[in-house]
Amino acid sequence: MKHLENCEIITSENIKSDIYKMTLKTPQIAKGSKPGQFVMIYLDNGVNLLPRPISIADVDGENLTIIYHVVGDGTKKLSQMKKGDIVRILGSLGNGFDVDAKSEKALLIGGGIGTPPMYLLARHLISLGVEVDVVAGFRNMDQVILQKEFEALGAKVHIATDDGSAGFEGNVVELLNNNPQINHQVAYACGPTPMLKGVAGWAKESGTKLFVSLEERMACGIGACFACISKNKDGVNKKVCIDGPVFEAKSHFGEV
């Protein structure tokens, strides 16, 4: 169920380079949030900025945590807000991950800022007794986030960086192809579309059931604006905000 709330900022911190973590008190939205869902954040700075979609990284009681990358005026404005400030949020939105998939092991794959939503998913799966491996890819060591947090949950973490400054040198698909022991029955991935298509190809070859969370630009988050259209394997337009953002890779990408 969607709610529009004025939320108090509990904490806001710069955790790595241009990546920020913010925790908000939002009783109604936090209560109904599931792994893989997102919120729309409204910012009023006098220039009529569109709301920003940001994935939910964690939920704890009445508090909801987001982790985001400063890439434009909206996220820059958000990063300048302080503890005690009020932010207007619509959420929780979209269809999340199928956390009821029966598997003793699960593989979680994140690319860059697609990694934070994997944290809430990992915490949920581990609480159900699922053994979790996390593969996370970043440009370089200065962009690596959440490794210690995942490990504290009990997940086994594999890091890939494009320049080899941390972990495996290469992208997540190359890491998976070079580590056949990282091979579970079900996998969940979030990141840029080229990465997701590469992971979908790996999943087909390895016989892994894969769910992907798509990243698309959004203007409303509720299916009214048609800004986040993604064509599935049959050429049918899907609205990422309400049909997704999570899709089964095989049904969306087809035979990659």
| All domains in the chain, ordered by first residue | 3-93 (2.40.30.10), 105-253 (3.40.50.80)
Pairing of strands 156-161, 131-138: parallel
Of 76, 84, 1, give the one whose Cα is nearest residue 41. Answer: 76
Strand runs labelled E in 47-174: 52-60, 63-69, 86-93, 105-111, 131-138, 156-161, 168-169
pLDDT, tens digit, for every residue of 198-232? Answer: 999 999 999 999 999 987 676 677 677 767 777 77
Q: Confidence band (pLDDT; 50, 70, 90) for 46?
A: very low
* 82 HSE (CA, 13 A, CB side): 0
Question: In this model, does residue 68 exceed pLDDT 80?
Answer: yes
Average of per-residue pLDDT values in the chain: 89
pLDDT of residue 235: 77
Question: In this model, does residue 254 exceed pLDDT 90?
Answer: no
Share of the chain above pLDDT 90, in %: 70
pLDDT of residue 91: 85
pLDDT of residue 102: 67
Confidence (pTM)? 0.93
Of 165, 163, 233, 152, give the one whose Cα is nearest residue 197. Answer: 233
pLDDT, tens digit, for every residue of 116-159? Answer: 999 999 999 999 999 999 999 999 999 999 999 999 999 999 99
Q: Confidence band (pLDDT; 50, 70, 90) for 164?
A: very high
Question: In this model, does residue 255 exceed pLDDT 90?
Answer: no
pLDDT of residue 79: 95
Q: 181, exposed or middle or buried, with CB in 10 Å at 0-12, 13-18, 19+?
A: exposed
Contact indicator for 4, 29 with CB cutoff of 8 Å: no
Number of alpha helices (DSSP H) and beta strands (DSSP E) in the chain: 7, 15
Q: Which residues, other chains included, contact 35 with Cβ-Cβ below 8 Å and sequence gap of 6+?
A: 56, 96, 97, 99, 117, 120, 121, 124
Structure tokens belonging to residue 54: 């940001």
pLDDT, tens digit, for every residue of 15-36? Answer: 998 999 999 999 999 998 999 9
